[in-house]
Structure 1
Amino acid sequence: MLAVVPGTAGAVEGSAPAAGAPLPAPQPGAVAQASDGPVERLIVGYKSKTTEAESNDAAAKDAKDKGKKAGESLAFERRLGTGAALVGLGAELGKEEAADVMAAFRADPDVEYVVPDRRVYATAVEPNDTDYARQWDLFEAAAGMNVPGAWDKATGAGVKVAVIDTGYVAHSDLAANVIAGYDFISDTRMSRDGDGPDGNPADTGDWMNKGDCGVDRFGRPVPDRDTNNSWHGTHVAGTIAATTGNGKGIAGIAHHATLQPVRVLGWCGGTDADIINAITWASGGTVQGVPANPSPADVINMSLGGGGACSPATQNAINGAVGRGTTVVVAAGNDNVNAADFQPANCNNVITVAASDRQGNRAAYSNYGAVVDVTAPGGETALGSANGIWSTLNTGIRSLGNETYAAYQGTSMAAPHIAGLAALMNQASPSMTPAQIESAIKTNARTLPGSCSGGCGAGLADAARTLGASDGTNPQPPTGKVFTNTANVTVPDTNTPVTSSLAVTGISGNAPTSLKVAVDIKHPYRGDLRIELVAPNGGSTQLKAAGSGDSAANVLTTYTVDASGAAAGGTWKLRVTDVYSGDTGYIDSWTLTF
């Protein structure tokens, strides 16, 4: 017999209902139509000075009389703040029956209007940004990061993200969120701005000719070909916090966060010393000769790196930043080798991010290995630009051009996805430490839908799932095997159970006493749903009961089940029943962690 451990279901399953558009008060004589779905109540507005407008008893009597005329059982329930009467219909009525009842009220000259008491739902409105459809990395079911599902909980408001990179080139899709930063490039040749460190982090371009930066240890020229301006920091910044809902361009993951450009990369890259100062300053530490940062970062993104071990100097700077409460996110590197040989990916106290492609495989270029913490979409433009990460850029090849957008690929593109997610978490639970944020991201990652050789950390980051668990506690990553089904299963509103199956293999003996069941079900009215877990032996337990009092949308939570009475191996099923009519939904995904 399975049993749900009391008190372990997630506290956050959905979001509070959003305010809908105000219902217009019909003019005298206007006809208010019944809604298309079933109607349970009506809102009746009586004309001022009428008895029904002033007396609940009179309104109750009128409801009863109108019900007799329409052949239905009506009852006055309560007075609304506007003075209108809320009238119950005794049961759900279809469109035609509800229209008959409303006609009885409309025939009364004392009634100013009658409208159905419509159900409204929490909605995460799809952004109206013109290029949002290109951002598969945010929303596609197969290998996107499930970002829109997190926006009901957080958008990054009040959170500061430092982008330690090539600086910033002006872009109207970023300008509203950019705050003052700093330029830490100390070599004037590298900076191309004629001076050393200063308060202007403008990106002056990083184009190079073949061999400009000498040769590598094999005697090969660096770079090995002529290159143009990358505007790298601006592309990274767009993924994190481009303005969203402004009718242009792209949507940023943490689009209400602020972006602080911190310039360390220019011609021929950057130096450890400059990067160390940048980490220290961005996180609120003191750098000699540099004014204090008035807006210390909650999150740092470093989409940069090089070969070799993490130096003690760099590690000290990172430790100082984390000690001040700043989460540090870094790219794993793009050489298709073990990230243990690349810094700062191999430093401690950072979140090291590998890259996945649009199909959910480890991207062909991405580094891998035990130092990787998590994977995020990095794209693969070799498979076509539509498979890259679309973000803010500039058209300038070897000088400043016009603002534009373009697709890039790389772990440089994957890291800002996690920086954006960390910013969302920081807003949702400001008391979480960097270690807790990292743990929650890893705990709530889902299995990569494609292949990963060499190690991709905890899997593909999932923003909605992570925000559902971001409660200020210190979640622990799963220690056992994880099984996930991401195939959508429609849940009809016919009181007919549907199931989604998981084949569990490679585990002997009985299931644990604390089996984790993570559920992601999309439904506009989750109170309609009864959810059960069915073990391979047919035994079942109810994870969630149906209840008309729960009017929020979606089920996004993790249940803990004592499943020790069943064998672990075999086919497990999630059984979902919609016990009420009027709405449909679907099982998006579910996961068992043993």
Structure 2
Amino acid sequence: MSDRTLRVRKHALAAATVAAVSCVAASAYAADRVNLAALANAQQNDEFIVKHRDGTAARSNAATLQNALNTVSSSFSGKGHALGLKHVRRTSIGADVVRASRKLDRVEAESLMRQIAADPSVEYVEPNARMTAFFTPDDTRFGEQWGYTDADAGINASQAWDVSTGTGVVVAVIDTGIVSHSDLNANIIGGYDFITDATAARDSNGRDSNPADQGDWFVGSDCGVTYNSNSSWHGTHVAGTIAAVTNNAKGVSGTAYNAKVVPVRVLGRCGGTLADIADAITWASGGTVSGIPANPNPAEVINMSLGGSGACGSTYQAAIDGAVSRGVTVVVAAGNNNGNASNARPANCTGVITVGAVDSAGARSVWSSTQKSNYGTVVDVAAPGSNILSTLNAGTTTPGAESYASYGGTSMATPHVAGVVALLQAKATTPKTPAEIETLLKNTVKPFPSTPDQLIGAGIVDAKAALDALGGGNPNPGTQTYSNGTDYNIPDNNTTGVSSSIAVSGRTGNAPSNASVSINVIHPYKGDLIVDLIAPDGSVYNLHNRTGSSGDNVSGTFTVNLSSETLNGSWKLRAADRAAQDVGRIDTWSVTF
């Protein structure tokens, strides 16, 4: 008897196998009733919430419910260990809390939840996840710091602080120096004044160990411009955004408020010189500068909210290369001239993280008709840079009373990112390289609310998402399971077939050589099907190629060597039906790596 005849007979018997078909249909939709996303927030789970449908026996009878749980636990295929399931209580919404007899890791928990959901009477199942309060500091002006919490353009700092606060990380702020401020002083350590010109430094002695900001005010004719300027206290404002003392019932909060700031003074009257800034980069990162004592507090992060026009140049690049070689992440401002940042330095230097600015609507920051955030392909990420409140000083020339004020510029966006880098390094079990930090930030950005009028990076930095990818939300980021439970109908006798996609982001490096791909493709004749896994770069890995002359469905777990593939991107499962008569669907699939 031919295979095709067998298939015709099998179809004729279908009406007599309603119960079997019902079971297949029930399992086909099980994935839609399993909340796997919640597994990312806990390393182990032992309690689950199970909701049975109204009118089912398990919903109305406690003994029936326990019997159903016993059936699942007796057939549970975990890691070779027995498992018991016990009904704990019924919730106000009619769902039941059930507890396993031991802690389950993510893989076991997913398997158990799928087995529970295979029962057609189950409406849904999810972990009984533990929630915590997001830390909200009591700083009196925290509510004005939109850059931390704004839904459209904030960096999700409040959520990030439940994971990391920057403890143990040193950030060097290469800027105008520092003025005393009670909302900042406790987080300031060491520092140095690298301004060689005593006149520009205004301290009469050129370079010294005192990074105090003497004021950068000037008369236009002194600096070759047509305007005068009061002192900016720029370095103090930047430092406050990074590490203002937090939860002290006053003032503002810092992005990484338990980090320490080393102020490095390079900007005085009329700015600062390239040679001085290059030496400051070297010293701040733990390198040697002739005639200057070694930095007792080498930085893991350098913030440079400064710049000028022109190509990066050999001096800048050499200093930055040295810092990067010592494992220091260098974060720089894109500039405010409404131009391409490829013409601004150090924004255009290699090895730095270049930061553009957004306002509270998530749009490219505009400060005047001529001052807007620089843009272009050298800009890596964006961060809040309009109306940013931080620590300051009221003196117009020399230091006066401490104060707070709002500034705008990519100078203000940059310390948000430097602070997030400090959060990441504080959380990392081993320090991340500058390249790893850059990749992590780019892969976890918050999308712009609308497409910016010019390119200002991959998106808006998201501190919590970056920490989650590092391991803040998932303590075992090295192994994660990504799933798609949406049904995709497979066209009959069609070479193109249909694809189901899974987006992977926030990961670093390549996929492993033993990636696990689990699939459930519903089809009455698997000999018709070709099923492939397609990597983000388009590489095809065949999982099933028309094998088997009879039998329903292509289901199972495949181990695939994906070591040549980058983890991040869109992974696809493609199923093509290469013969006429039968149709099916991609029911659910997942990939673990």
Looking at structure 1, the residues matched to 505 and 575 of structure 2 have their Cα atoms a distance apart, in angstroms, of: 16
Matched, 1:389 2:383: no
The corresponding residue for 2:148 is 138
Please list, as runs of the form range in 1=range in 2, the aligned pairs for 1:324-403 lying within 5 A after superposition. 324-364=326-366, 365-379=372-386, 388-403=387-402
The corresponding residue for 1:590 is none
Letter in 1 for 2:304: M
Looking at structure 2, the residues matched to 329 and 346 of structure 1 have their Cα atoms a distance apart, in angstroms, of: 12
Looking at structure 1, the residues matched to 194 and 317 of structure 2 have their Cα atoms a distance apart, in angstroms, of: 18
The corresponding residue for 1:238 is 240
- Structure 1 position 431, deviation (Å): 2.6
Looking at structure 1, the residues matched to 468 and 242 of structure 2 have their Cα atoms a distance apart, in angstroms, of: 20
Question: What secondary structure, in the 3-state scheme, does the structure 1 residue paired with 2:356 have?
Answer: strand
The corresponding residue for 2:174 is 164
The corresponding residue for 1:212 is 222
Could you tell me which of 169, 179, 184 is aligned with 2:194? 184
Letter in 2 for 1:457: G
The corresponding residue for 2:316 is 314
The change in CA–CA distance for 1:368 and 1:2 in structure 2 (over 3 A counts) is farther
Q: How much is the aligned-residue C-alpha RMSD, in angstroms?
A: 3.4
CA contact (8 A) 1:231 1:394 kept: yes
- Structure 1 position 168, deviation (Å): 0.2
Question: What secondary structure, in the 3-state scheme, does the structure 2 residue paired with 1:392 have?
Answer: strand
CA contact (8 A) 2:135 2:161 kept: no
Please list, as runs of the form range in 1=range in 2, the aligned pairs for 1:404-423 lying within 5 A after superposition. 404-423=403-422
Letter in 1 for 2:409: G
Moved over 3 A (4+): 1-4, 9-17, 508-514, 558-566
- Structure 1 position 250, deviation (Å): 0.7
- Structure 1 position 2, deviation (Å): 11
Question: What secondary structure, in the 3-state scheme, does the structure 2 residue paired with 1:416 have?
Answer: helix
Letter in 1 for 2:41: G
Matched, 1:516 2:504: yes
Question: What secondary structure, in the 3-state scheme, does the structure 2 residue paired with 1:268 have?
Answer: coil
Looking at structure 2, the residues matched to 90 and 469 of structure 1 have their Cα atoms a distance apart, in angstroms, of: 33
Question: What secondary structure, in the 3-state scheme, does the structure 1 residue paired with 2:178 have?
Answer: coil
Looking at structure 1, the residues matched to 408 and 497 of structure 2 have their Cα atoms a distance apart, in angstroms, of: 44
- Structure 1 position 153, deviation (Å): 1.4
The change in CA–CA distance for 1:186 and 1:563 in structure 2 (over 3 A counts) is same
The change in CA–CA distance for 1:209 and 1:514 in structure 2 (over 3 A counts) is same
- Structure 1 position 145, deviation (Å): 1.0
1:332-385 Cα shifts (integer Å, max 9, x gaps): 000000000010000000000000011000112100001100111101xxxxxx
The corresponding residue for 2:124 is none
Letter in 1 for 2:352: V
The corresponding residue for 1:453 is 453
CA contact (8 A) 1:279 1:317 kept: yes
1:423-472 Cα shifts (integer Å, max 9, x gaps): 01111113311100010000111221134123111111111111101149
Looking at structure 1, the residues matched to 269 and 239 of structure 2 have their Cα atoms a distance apart, in angstroms, of: 20
Q: Which runs of 5 or more residues in structure 2 are unaligned?
A: 1-27, 50-85, 93-128, 367-371, 478-495, 507-567, 577-593
% of aligned pairs identical? 52
CA contact (8 A) 1:360 1:451 kept: no
Letter in 2 for 1:392: T
CA contact (8 A) 2:218 2:229 kept: yes
CA contact (8 A) 1:3 1:562 kept: no
Please list, as runs of the form range in 1=range in 2, the aligned pairs for 1:238-317 lying within 5 A after superposition. 238-317=240-319
Matched, 1:438 2:438: yes
CA contact (8 A) 1:10 1:469 kept: no
Please list, as runs of the form range in 1=range in 2, the aligned pairs for 1:62-73 lying within 5 A after superposition. none
Which structure would you say has the larger RCO, counting Cα contacts within 8 Å and 6 or more residues apart?
A: 1
1:285-307 Cα shifts (integer Å, max 9, x gaps): 00000000011000000000000
Looking at structure 2, the residues matched to 374 and 91 of structure 1 have their Cα atoms a distance apart, in angstroms, of: 48
Question: What secondary structure, in the 3-state scheme, does the structure 2 residue paired with 1:246 have?
Answer: coil
Q: Which runs of 5 or more residues in structure 1 are unaligned?
A: 18-37, 39-87, 95-118, 215-221, 380-387, 476-507, 519-557, 567-594
The change in CA–CA distance for 1:462 and 1:267 in structure 2 (over 3 A counts) is same
- Structure 1 position 399, deviation (Å): 1.9
Letter in 2 for 1:441: L
- Structure 1 position 148, deviation (Å): 1.1
Letter in 1 for 2:457: G
- Structure 1 position 92, deviation (Å): 4.0
The change in CA–CA distance for 1:435 and 1:511 in structure 2 (over 3 A counts) is farther
The change in CA–CA distance for 1:211 and 1:154 in structure 2 (over 3 A counts) is same
Looking at structure 2, the residues matched to 291 and 187 of structure 1 have their Cα atoms a distance apart, in angstroms, of: 19
CA contact (8 A) 2:364 2:454 kept: no
The change in CA–CA distance for 1:3 and 1:350 in structure 2 (over 3 A counts) is farther
- Structure 1 position 140, deviation (Å): 1.0
CA contact (8 A) 1:2 1:561 kept: no
Please list, as runs of the form range in 1=range in 2, the aligned pairs for 1:550-561 lying within 5 A after superposition. none
Could you tell me which of 173, 178, 203 is aligned with 2:183? 173
Please list, as runs of the form range in 1=range in 2, the aligned pairs for 1:464-475 lying within 5 A after superposition. 464-471=464-471
TM-score, length basis structure 2: 0.61
Bigger mean CA offset, 440-449 vs 160-169: 440-449
The corresponding residue for 2:426 is 427
Point out the structure with the larger helix share: 2
- Structure 1 position 559, deviation (Å): 11
Question: What secondary structure, in the 3-state scheme, does the structure 1 residue paired with 2:271 have?
Answer: coil
The change in CA–CA distance for 1:514 and 1:236 in structure 2 (over 3 A counts) is same
- Structure 1 position 11, deviation (Å): 11
Question: What secondary structure, in the 3-state scheme, does the structure 1 residue paired with 2:223 have?
Answer: coil
Question: What secondary structure, in the 3-state scheme, does the structure 2 residue paired with 1:239 have?
Answer: helix
Looking at structure 1, the residues matched to 143 and 261 of structure 2 have their Cα atoms a distance apart, in angstroms, of: 24
The change in CA–CA distance for 1:125 and 1:164 in structure 2 (over 3 A counts) is same
CA contact (8 A) 1:129 1:245 kept: yes
Letter in 2 for 1:292: A
Bigger mean CA offset, 464-473 vs 185-194: 464-473
Looking at structure 2, the residues matched to 302 and 210 of structure 1 have their Cα atoms a distance apart, in angstroms, of: 24
CA contact (8 A) 2:251 2:404 kept: yes
The change in CA–CA distance for 1:455 and 1:404 in structure 2 (over 3 A counts) is same
- Structure 1 position 512, deviation (Å): 6.5
CA contact (8 A) 1:359 1:450 kept: no
Please list, as runs of the form range in 1=range in 2, the aligned pairs for 1:7-22 lying within 5 A after superposition. 13-14=40-41
CA contact (8 A) 1:2 1:562 kept: no
The change in CA–CA distance for 1:471 and 1:89 in structure 2 (over 3 A counts) is closer
Bigger mean CA offset, 137-146 vs 463-472: 463-472
Please list, as runs of the form range in 1=range in 2, the aligned pairs for 1:531-550 lying within 5 A after superposition. none
CA contact (8 A) 1:161 1:258 kept: yes
Looking at structure 2, the residues matched to 439 and 3 of structure 1 have their Cα atoms a distance apart, in angstroms, of: 36
- Structure 1 position 190, deviation (Å): 0.5
Letter in 2 for 1:432: K
The change in CA–CA distance for 1:296 and 1:11 in structure 2 (over 3 A counts) is farther
Looking at structure 1, the residues matched to 221 and 319 of structure 2 have their Cα atoms a distance apart, in angstroms, of: 31
Looking at structure 2, the residues matched to 517 and 282 of structure 1 have their Cα atoms a distance apart, in angstroms, of: 33
- Structure 1 position 125, deviation (Å): 2.2
